[in-house]
Structure 1
């Protein structure tokens, strides 16, 4: 008898190059939109974004991909297979964009309005970003041991519906406006992305579809701009000099912890979403033949998020859902190693910032619109048909938050009118503007509670619906949802006075009244 030779487990195969390009483009596009949103929309200092926020954020990508590469190597050694594909890890699109548009940008504006100069406001915002990652990382670390219990407590419609609403309104609508501010560039880029990603159309060149769309869009932007045919406001960006910026651990996140309190209704669902997503991704990889332990997958993303936060990062990492797709590309474990090193070293040396600086917002925004649409569709397709109306219900609070964002813009509504939104009544109930803002505050958790209660009613489980509504009443009392603080801050209910107190008790009473009614209805004899 002759012993069979064990397979040669190579670190790199040709398919890893395809996987590398795809994963790098995903991460660069998200970094690009963070920079474009903060610098272009909120006038955030570019130096802080590129030399403080990006190195730590990129380090999180490096750490996470190194862990996943090692996990793939370990699985291949354990099973004796040479076709094991590593879990792809990168920056999470919805929550990274949400951090830029809903947390960091508004916080920077708020700090300046509070009297801080630009540099001090930028530093405080950076500390808030670091602390936010630490908060989400700790939450993910704890929930990684209870992930299955979380998914049992909150129905899939509650999780996907709440995020689907945010995806449609905030990731879909807001970036669509940025797309069409450069109509030719943005529309062509968006159309090409839909052609390759949705219609699965053929291309004349063998390039990843997203990369080709970026090349075409960027060429259009600079070509039309230099020819004087582009939209107003065209300018060639200044080159970002290469510089060594080490993402060393810092205690700045401790100073930012107090700033996170008003944003907890956003940050906690962001972290929870990653835990649920990690569970789904693990199941997807298992179905493709690579049996990774779910807890290991969740712990790896929690650790990489914590490392990023402690070292200055502002965007959390997550395993991507496309592990089977990378497997079909022929990628194995080398592509995650290449991606981690490219992004991590690029954040330290500055060439990632240089690449991002040259990508126009009108080219980056369309991919975010696509991500928003894809998440919205998933909210319906991945839930039972009878729960579809609950998913749609979960979209409504995010519409209120979208209006709040625009109402808070002085170009839309005079600041003195917005400041007085909790003043006066018109005889028809609560003031319109106050109702919209109150509904929008804590919109993700609100949507989870609404959809959970409706799913329970649809399934004939009124007791569970009552529990969900009572939780909503308690959270309302403390401002975790339906905060009567225009900024969405939390408080003690007995510290609130005037019309704000009336609104607080009216909303909390609404949840309690419906819970009591459903509880009474559940006492009926079953036919």
Structure 2
């Protein structure tokens, strides 16, 4: 029986709030640390490594991004209150929504940084001006997010059909690839966890013990908050020991300059029609990046609704999907660059005792922090204390990809990780050498091969795993068709482009743009070679479709 006076807040909302807010803060810190730099522009040019100023990111990208979380979590809070009143229950838990971790890494490394570098080096539009290059890149990023939002709005009513059409190994395989190779790995290096192991490993161990092994922390402190507190404590003790003994222990805390950043929430007042035509042209090149992320959040949203239903809270699937799609679209319109997504952890938040208060508090804190520039305070948080949550997210996404995929498709999920490993290797090389070319023929060939494997890796992962899953299921014709699609994408550089920064071009134009130093290195891996290779694979698969199949191992053995 309906009851309009049911309680929608509980003490459990405190634990749930810290879990959800720290997830979002970790994602924002990733965005800030991966795309910003304090180097003067002249020094960036000399090193060939370009970044945004912190002020630009806080004033232009973060406000719209935070607005998406604000809108999405407010709507989910309202939906939970309505469900509680409709059912007369006081234990309804709101669907958690936050920033999508995989696409944060994708936007940073596959869109924003490559476009910024090209805009800084190509003076035809920005005249080599850093401020104009940052503005142009921001506009490209928000248009890519608008495209993601439009795709999700269109797919939201068709979520179940999309889920049935594309093998789960394809969708989750590409997601597992970026989760393992980027989300879980990158926080380990540089000045993250492995860079300062005293802090990072201590916090990581807390995360693994509480969130993976499900051990209770002292005083029932939530695992994510406990990891942050342990990391901060170790850092402070390490600083004290270093001061007393002179032995290097931990890097000094960086105290940010507190200054109000005026948010820019309407990006369309800058630039003329030619400028925006160039922005849209550039943004459309990144559809191979946008499409897999949009598909993943739509299918993931359905999984979130199902997990909530299993926990006792029946939400309308279309309403959940449309809410996060519109939230992403609004974020892009107002200058955001990261999409929102419902989080899979609804049952965990329900177990914590969360109701609707935790999503309301998250919406308000993220919204206010983004609109006031208060997230500059994140600079004072040791990365080693906050980044372990990202390792957990990456490992959990990878593990879940195997758990919810039929065991006969596990090989397809693993196969999807290979292109992402190439992207990880290429990012590592770029971070060390910048745009400096290795001098040896072997080094040139190796870097060119990594480039071809890494360019378009999300779509490559999706299609490789889909073809593998089709073959495992005996659907050889569909596998062959998938490989023909790969051939077409490779021909125009959507996959395996030989050019830096995933540039798409007709094969003859692409080969004309290959730097002279790489002429020999690209000799046997041109778009023609890649396209022909996939056609050959398709012919083989079509042929094998008529040969019958060998006896299969039992499902338990395959798993």
TM-score, shorter chain, exceeding 0.5: yes
Query: For 1:217-274, what per-residue CA distance to the aligned partner results, in whole angstroms no more than 9, with x for missing partners?
Result: 1233344346445557535322322456363464569563333244332222122211
2:312 is the counterpart of 1:312:
no
Q: 1:477 to 1:420 in 2, by over 3 A?
A: farther
List gaps (5 residues or longer) in structure 2.
Answer: 39-49, 513-518, 551-559
> Take 1:209 and 1:433, find their aligned partners in 2: how far apart are those partners?
40
1:247 aligns with 2:265: yes
Q: Contact (CA 8 Å) 2:179, 2:398: kept in 1 or not?
A: yes
State the match for 2:436 in structure 1. Answer: 415
Normalising by structure 2, we get a TM-score of 0.85
Query: Are residue 384 (structure 1) and residue 406 (structure 2) matched?
Result: yes
Offset at residue 28 of structure 1 (A): 1.3
Partner of 2:99: 91
TM-superposed deviation, 1:311: 1.0
Taking the aligned partners of 2:27 and 2:104, their CA distance within structure 1 comes to 7
Once the two structures are TM-superposed, the CA of residue 5 in structure 1 deviates from its matched residue by 8.8
Secondary structure of the residue that 1:136 maps to in structure 2?
helix
Matching residue of 2:516: none
Question: Does the aligned pair in 1 maintain the 2:493–2:502 contact within 8 Å?
Answer: yes
Q: Is 2:195 the counterpart of 1:198?
A: no
Any conservation in 1 of the 2:71–2:327 contact (CA below 8 Å)? yes
Count of paired positions: 515
Residue 476 of structure 1 corresponds to: 490
Is the aligned partner of 1:356 residue 2:378? yes
Secondary structure of the 1:146 match is helix
Structure 1, residues 93-112: CA drift from partner, whole Å, max 9, x if none?
A: 12113322333234333333
Partner residue of 1:166 out of 163, 178, 202: 178
Shift of 1:407: 3.2
The 10-residue stretch of structure 1 (41-50 or 329-338) with the greater mean CA deviation from structure 2: 41-50
- Indicate the residue corresponding to 2:468 in structure 1: 454
Change (3 A) 1:38 1:237: farther
- Residue 362 of structure 2 corresponds to 339
| 8 A Cα contact 2:171 2:292, kept in partner | no
Whether the 8 Å contact between 2:488 and 2:531 is mirrored in structure 1 is: yes
The yes-or-no answer on 1:26 pairing with 2:17 is no
Query: Is it true that 1:207 corresponds to 2:221 in the alignment?
Result: yes
CA RMSD of aligned residues (A): 2.7
Aligned residues of 1:182 and 1:230 also touching (Cα < 8 A) = no
Q: Which residue of 2 aligns with 1:39?
A: 36
In structure 1, what is the equivalent of residue 302 of structure 2?
279
The SS at the match of 1:470 is: helix
Residue 68 of structure 2: which of 41, 57, 60 is its match?
60
Deviation at 1:23, TM superposition (A): 1.4
1:375 corresponds to: 397
**SS in structure 2 opposite 1:238?**
coil
Secondary structure (helix, strand or coil) at the match of 1:90 reads strand
Deviations 1:460-484 (A, max 9, x none): 1111111111111111112111112
Corresponding position of 1:109: 117
* Deviation per residue, 1:290-309 (Å, 9 max, x gap): 22121111110111111111
Q: Runs of 5+ in structure 1 lacking a partner?
A: 424-430
- Check 1:14–1:205 CA distance in 2 against 1; reply closer, same or farther (3 A cut): closer
* Residue in 2 that maps onto 1:428: none
Among candidates 153, 157, 160, match of residue 169 of structure 2: 157
Question: After the TM superposition, which residues 442-521 of structure 1 pair with which residues of structure 2 at under 5 Å, given as runs?
Answer: 442-497=456-511, 503-521=526-544
Distance in 2 (CA, whole Å) between partners of 1:420 and 1:143 is: 46
Q: CA offset at residue 282 of structure 1?
A: 1.1
The separation in 2 between residues aligned to 1:372 and 1:346, in whole angstroms, is: 25
Matched with 2:47 is none
Conserved in 2, the CA contact under 8 Å of 1:214 and 1:363? yes
Shift in Å, 1:143:
1.1
Contact 1:263 1:489 survives alignment (8 Å): no
Decide whether the 8 Å contact of 1:53 with 1:312 is kept in 2. yes
Query: Alpha carbons of 1:187 and 1:452: their partners in 2 closer, same or farther (altered >3 Å)?
Result: same
State the Cα distance separating 1:50 from its structure 2 match: 1.5
1:71 lines up with 2:79 in the alignment:
yes
SS in 1 for 2:465: helix
- Deviations along 1:73-98, one digit per CA (max 9) or x if unpaired, are 22233333332221111111121133
Match of 1:201, SS state, is coil
Residue 490 of structure 2 contacts residue 531 of structure 2 at CA under 8 Å; is this kept in 1? yes
Shift of 1:40: 5.4
- Verify the 8 A CA contact 2:31 2:104 in the aligned structure 1: yes
Q: Within 1, Cα distance between the matches of 2:342 and 2:227?
A: 24
